[in-house]
Amino acid sequence: MKNTPNFHILSGSMLKMIAMITMLIDHTGMAVLSQLPQALTPLFYFGDTPISIYRISRDIGRVAFPIFCFLLVEGFRHTHNRFLYGRNLLLFALISEIPWNIIHTNTLYYEKQNIFFTLFLGYLAFCVMEHFQNNQAAQFLCITFLLGISTVLQADYGWRGFIFLLIMYILRNEKASQAIIGSCWLYYEWKACFAFLSINMYNGQRGFIKRKGAKYLFYAFYPLHLTVLILIRQHLL
């Protein structure tokens, strides 16, 4: 029996909780703290950079996206129904679009699309690479097409996020390379690299989020927390 290293202590459920909590902190900073002068007041300076409560919340939130990408790869590998997995991603992308638009512009229109669209396009890319694994030309054409869609949609994290998903999938069995190359790719958001600390503590177990209802709650958390933050901001203002 293969021994599990002692530092592999986080289940998939724990990684989901870390991703959700850090995302909540990030979006609280973006939607609420950005409106509060006291949260924008520098607490101290790091070199010439002012560090405020708002800045700290946004920096903490950088680790959420790489963890969500890792979980998408793991979910794709282990799901029993690829169609339902992709359907859920697209469904919640559409559901989340209204609160996503409102939280950014207070209207029903925002030029950029929410993170579920990025994850859905990544899911389609995984399908392409698996289906055309013996046809590199078809792989290249389809991936280029999906990259183009990501650019046109201006999905959250943009084309860089889409390519990061490809890195995470291609290097799914090479954890050291995944962390090193993934961190290099995230140079423009270097705080996100800290996500690999928790990713590499993953023990391969599903954890406590098992039942269908709990899984859908994980999906629903995204539009729900955006809606709650919108209500909080409206109350404060």
One-letter identity of residue 52 = S
Q: How far apart are CA 194 and CA 9, in angstroms?
A: 17
Helix 115-131 and helix 64-78, axial crossing angle in degrees, nearest 10: 40
Contacts of 127 (CB under 8 A, 6+ apart): 82, 86
**Single pTM value for the model:** 0.93
Q: What is the DSSP letter of 7?
A: T
Query: Which helix (H) or strand (E) element contains residue 54?
Result: helix 53-61
- Nearest 5°: the CA angle 113, 118, 121 is 120
Q: Is pLDDT above 70 for 183?
A: yes
Q: Is pLDDT above 70 for 5?
A: no
Spatial CA neighbour of 226 closest among 67, 110, 63, 119: 110
Q: Helix, strand, or coil here: 237?
A: coil
pLDDT above 90 as % of the chain: 84
Q: How far apart are CA 74 and CA 87, in angstroms?
A: 17
Tens of pLDDT, residues 112-161: 999 999 999 999 999 999 999 999 999 999 999 999 999 999 999 999 99
Q: How far apart are CA 94 and CA 58, in angstroms?
A: 25
